[in-house]
């Protein structure tokens, strides 16, 4: 059975030349607003023919590097500089971003677990459906800007997934490297089925995934990496003129081949990580201690690395519960071009 058209309408004309700032409007009817709408800000910059790049932030509402960089880009990008079309959505999950939370306060929806979406679902599924059926088909390249949010801190990297279409995988991997973050990654997802990434890749489009920091804030260094990365991607795919700027140090390539990369807590208590982001670790090394906060005099539980690698992500808050990811250890590799 075919789905009904999306209830979302755009106040911008995606085919018009020049720059427009407007909204994707999703009708809602609530106690606070009987005939209301969720207003998702969007900017379209178009100049002649060329590819379309869709730049998205705020897929999770508390990941501020991408949100901030895209709000800045919407203020500064001018049509004369663009070859083709750049569509900027700084806060895909606007209700979550407005609340400063990962998921939506309207329906508890985690947008990046709601794809391909449903026009008859909750607000979050309706947003996902609009991107799947309207925004992605008009795009050639999608750059989705994530970070760790309030509960994780992640090394800045551009990433591509292992895909059945090797040409599509190669093009995404080249884009992930061209993003020019200090790290580039071939990514293993714990659960890929409902990701935005998969909704884009299954339409044959180029998807660049990123993680750009976290902790629920930004730093000048990470903002610089994010802004430079967006500009590098636009240059790489021919939408902007200019030279790609790479980091001073050679890019480090990392691979996350399987689930053993993720260290999850089996205890509740106070977390002390004994290594920092970017530190190298060997299998068997202690990486964290978790202390029982209900008493003094109890020895902490020691967590050890199950593999050699590099600490690419860590839990940000010091309080930890059972099941929380406390560390992610990725494998350092010479090249990302292997055929797997």
**By the criterion CB under 5 A, which residues form the site for Zn ion?**
60, 63, 146
Torsion-angle region of 278 (φ positive above 0: left; ψ -120 to 50: alpha; else: beta): left
Alpha-carbon 337 to chain mean position: 22
**Which residue, 113 or 267, is less far from Zn ion as judged by CB?**
113
Give min distance, CB of 63 to Zn ion, in A.
5
**Which residue, 197 or 331, is less far from Zn ion as judged by CB?**
197
The token pair at 138 is 């008009």
**Which residue, 146 or 186, is less far from Zn ion as judged by CB?**
146
Are 331 and 260 spatial neighbours (Cβ–Cβ below 8 Å)? no
Give min distance, CB of 263 to Zn ion, in A.
19
Matching residue, tokens 């203020």: 75
Which is it for the CA torsion 263, 170, 165, 210, positive or negative? Answer: positive
Are 14 and 54 spatial neighbours (Cβ–Cβ below 8 Å)? no
For residue 284, count other CB atoms closer than 10 A to its CB: 10
Give min distance, CB of 101 to Zn ion, in A.
12
Give min distance, CB of 146 to Zn ion, in A.
3
Give min distance, CB of 144 to Zn ion, in A.
8
**Which residue, 143 or 239, is less far from Zn ion as judged by CB?**
143
Give min distance, CB of 143 to Zn ion, in A.
13
Give min distance, CB of 102 to Zn ion, in A.
7
How far is it, in rounded angstroms, from Cα 263 to Cα 35?
46
Give min distance, CB of 123 to Zn ion, in A.
18
Beta strands in the chain (DSSP E): 9-10, 18-28, 36-47, 52-56, 84-89, 141-146, 152-154, 157-161, 183-187, 206-211, 252-255, 262-264, 269-273, 280-281, 286-291, 301-304, 309-315, 319-320, 325-333
**Which residue, 63 or 140, is less far from Zn ion as judged by CB?**
63
**Which residue, 225 or 281, is less far from Zn ion as judged by CB?**
225
Are 88 and 74 spatial neighbours (Cβ–Cβ below 8 Å)? yes
**Which residue, 46 or 146, is less far from Zn ion as judged by CB?**
146
Are 143 and 210 spatial neighbours (Cβ–Cβ below 8 Å)? yes
**Which residue, 44 or 176, is less far from Zn ion as judged by CB?**
176
């Amino acid at each position: 059975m075919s789905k009904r058209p999306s209830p979302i309408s755009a106040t911008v004309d995606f085919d018009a030349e020049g720059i427009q700032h407007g909204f994707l409007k999703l009708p809602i009817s609530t106690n606070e607003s009987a005939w209301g709408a969720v207003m998702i800000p969007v900017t379209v910059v178009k100049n002649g023919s060329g590819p379309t790049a869709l730049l998205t932030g705020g897929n999770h509402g508390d990941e501020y590097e991408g949100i901030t960089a895209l709000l800045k880009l919407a203020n500064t990008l001018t049509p004369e500089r663009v070859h083709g079309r750049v569509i900027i959505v700084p806060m895909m999950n606007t209700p979550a971003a407005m609340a400063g939370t990962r998921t939506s306060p309207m329906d508890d929806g985690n947008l990046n677990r709601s794809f391909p979406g449903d026009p008859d679902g909750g607000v979050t599924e309706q947003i996902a459906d609009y991107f799947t059926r309207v925004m992605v088909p008009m795009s050639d390249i999608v750059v989705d800007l994530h970070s760790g949010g309030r509960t994780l801190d992640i090394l800045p990297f551009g990433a591509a997934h292992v895909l059945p279409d090797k040409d599509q995988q190669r093009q995404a991997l080249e884009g992930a490297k061209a993003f020019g973050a200090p790290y580039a990654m071939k990514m293993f997802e714990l659960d890929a089925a409902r990701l935005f990434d998969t909704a884009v890749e299954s339409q044959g489009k180029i998807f660049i995934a990123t993680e750009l920091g976290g902790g629920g804030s930004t730093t000048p260094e990470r903002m610089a990496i994010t802004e430079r990365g967006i500009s590098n991607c636009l240059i790489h795919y021919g939408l902007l003129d200019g030279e790609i700027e790479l980091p001073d140090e050679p890019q480090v390539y990392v691979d996350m081949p399987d689930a053993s990369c993720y260290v999850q807590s089996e205890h509740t208590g106070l977390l002390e990580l004994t290594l920092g982001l970017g530190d190298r670790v060997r299998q068997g090394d202690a990486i964290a201690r978790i202390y029982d906060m209900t008493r003094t005099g109890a020895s902490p539980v020691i967590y050890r690395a199950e593999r050699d690698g590099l600490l690419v992500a860590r839990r940000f808050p010091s309080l930890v519960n059972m099941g929380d990811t406390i560390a992610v250890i990725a494998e350092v590799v010479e090249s990302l071009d292997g055929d797997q």
